[in-house]
Structure 1
Amino acid sequence: MSHAEIVFIALQGLLLFYLGGTAVYLFVFSVLSLFSRKEPPPLDFKKRKFAILIPCYQEDEVIFEVAEQALLQEYPTDLFDVIVIADKFEKSTIQRLSELPIILFDENFAISTKTRALNHALRNLPDNKYDIAVILDGDNLMEPEFLAQLNDAFSFPYLAIQGHRMAKNLNTDFAILDAVSEEINNNIFRKAHRKIGLSSALIGSAMAFRYDFFKKLMSNIEVVGG
């Protein structure tokens, strides 16, 4: 057997191992996601204060509904603030947003990124005011009990919690495929991971962090594209 043949067989073996391992991983966690996990009761009944951070870029069409809906949480109104970081928005949109009881940052960043928007808000919000930071995208709508559920979950010593994100519209074939993909990811990479004590994968929105941890983490991040 020539040297080239040995190398070729070895590469085939590595490829088979990689693909086989991936298939086994997906199969095992798909099965695990079918089993329910009993959630323990909260360890305390403390009411935490939330900063709901919504960084958004030119999302004039949807942001008002998102901000308005965020105010409708079934949670004490003095224990959460809705904070919109509006980058390059129309003046009419800013005017409408300013009429809501929210904290509004009207910005025009030279380089527009989610990281830059979040860091700008974190630098300008008061220290020691919030316990938890919630990160939403400009088109995320929260269920009314979302903050109450997060409050219970943070009675445990978690640093970060990923919410269950679901598709809002199912009116096109592409939207349905996107919703199916989202649920597959929710079940395999989040729900199933938690069944055996692993961390859930983060999506990028509908996330919550302990505020001090998040602020320290973000202070070390400065990227161009995210």
Structure 2
Amino acid sequence: MEIIYNLLHLLLWVLGSYLLLNCFYLAFFGIVGLFNLPKSKIDAVNYRKTAVLFPTYQENVVIIDSVKTALKHQYSGSFEVVVIADGLQPETIITLKTLGASVIEVFFEKSTKGKAMQFAMNELQSEGFEIAMILDVDNIMSDDCLNYINAAFEQHKKVVQAHRVAKNMDSSFAFLDACNEEVNNHLFRKGHAVVGLSAALIGSGMAFSFEYLRHLLNNIG
């Protein structure tokens, strides 16, 4: 009986230590996240050709509005809006091309974002892009977003995570989702960046060196 008691006592200590470390981790980055980061630069000598990628799966309405907004973005260099179309209706594809976006259609028995991205990156390989900016179907770039991204690459960055914020808070659920987004931004992105660590990637609003991303996507599905 004493052996069982000692074993349970040890397990509780291990569990308590693990939870305490988690609390210290969150508290530390919560505090350092209160400090300001250096102001992002916007000026650059070279303006890299950028592919703004919208991996899209059966989103026939939202993608049109997002592309319209993206095409109006002001960037000092050249950029192209590319829709990676998986399961879009023919009418949607025609509309996107009419608006001025490039459309790469993908067809897979089992669709994944990784396979769609890999196919598109290989298709675009010869187009001379230096930066690949990945957006979700409902993402909208803020003013000068691509200029700031380009300036970061001017400082020899390979990957940049933009600050993603909620577009609306017109319901309780949307408000809670926005709060969750900002808590994660504060702890795992700004907090990390303040102490010189890499910010955690969110999955969209990310920019990669084009060839670096193409290399990473090899054999991903």
1:28-48, Cα deviation, whole Å (9 max, x unpaired): 111111111223657952111
Question: Where does residue 8 of structure 2 map in the other structure?
Answer: 8
Question: Where does residue 220 of structure 2 map in the other structure?
Answer: 221
- TM, length-normalised to structure 2: 0.94
Question: Where does residue 148 of structure 1 map in the other structure?
Answer: 147
> Using the alignment, how far apart are the partners of 2:5 and 2:197 within structure 1?
41
The aligned amino acid for 2:150 is N
Question: Where does residue 95 of structure 1 map in the other structure?
Answer: 94
Task: Indicate conservation of the 8 Å contact 1:72/1:144, yes or no.
Answer: no
Deviation, 1:169, is 1.9
1:164-212, Cα deviation, whole Å (9 max, x unpaired): 1111121111111000000000010000100010000001111001111
Deviation, 1:159, is 1.4
In the TM superposition, what are the counterparts of 1:127-138 in structure 2 within 5 Å? 127=126, 129-138=128-137
Question: Where does residue 26 of structure 2 map in the other structure?
Answer: 26
Question: Where does residue 165 of structure 2 map in the other structure?
Answer: 166
- TM, length-normalised to structure 1: 0.92
Deviation, 1:73, is 1.7
Number of residues paired by the alignment?
221
The aligned amino acid for 1:12 is L
> Using the alignment, how far apart are the partners of 2:142 and 2:10 within structure 1?
52
**Aligned in 2, Cα 1:107/1:15: closer, same or farther, shift over 3 Å?**
same
> Using the alignment, how far apart are the partners of 2:99 and 2:120 within structure 1?
18
Which stretches of structure 1, 4 residues or more, deviate above 2 A after TM superposition?
39-44, 106-109
> Using the alignment, how far apart are the partners of 1:43 and 1:2 within structure 2?
69
In the TM superposition, what are the counterparts of 1:72-221 in structure 2 within 5 Å? 72-76=72-76, 79-127=78-126, 129-221=128-220
Task: Indicate conservation of the 8 Å contact 1:26/1:188, yes or no.
Answer: yes
CA RMSD of aligned residues (A): 1.7
Task: Indicate conservation of the 8 Å contact 1:119/1:218, yes or no.
Answer: yes
> Using the alignment, how far apart are the partners of 2:126 and 2:217 within structure 1?
15
The aligned amino acid for 2:199 is S
Deviation, 1:89, is 1.3
> Using the alignment, how far apart are the partners of 1:40 and 1:188 within structure 2?
19
1:53-93, Cα deviation, whole Å (9 max, x unpaired): 111101112001111111122114x6111110111112221
- Percent identical among aligned pairs is 38
> Using the alignment, how far apart are the partners of 1:40 and 1:173 within structure 2?
33
Deviation, 1:6, is 1.3
Task: Indicate conservation of the 8 Å contact 1:43/1:156, yes or no.
Answer: no
SS at match of 1:21: helix
Question: Where does residue 62 of structure 1 map in the other structure?
Answer: 62
Task: Indicate conservation of the 8 Å contact 2:84/2:116, yes or no.
Answer: yes
SS at match of 1:219: coil
The aligned amino acid for 1:39 is K
SS at match of 1:209: strand
Structure 2: gaps of 5 or more residues: none
Task: Indicate conservation of the 8 Å contact 1:42/1:155, yes or no.
Answer: no
Residue range with higher mean Cα deviation, 60-69 or 99-108 = 99-108
> Using the alignment, how far apart are the partners of 1:168 and 1:27 within structure 2?
28
SS at match of 1:99: helix
Deviation, 1:128, is 6.3
Question: Where does residue 36 of structure 2 map in the other structure?
Answer: 36
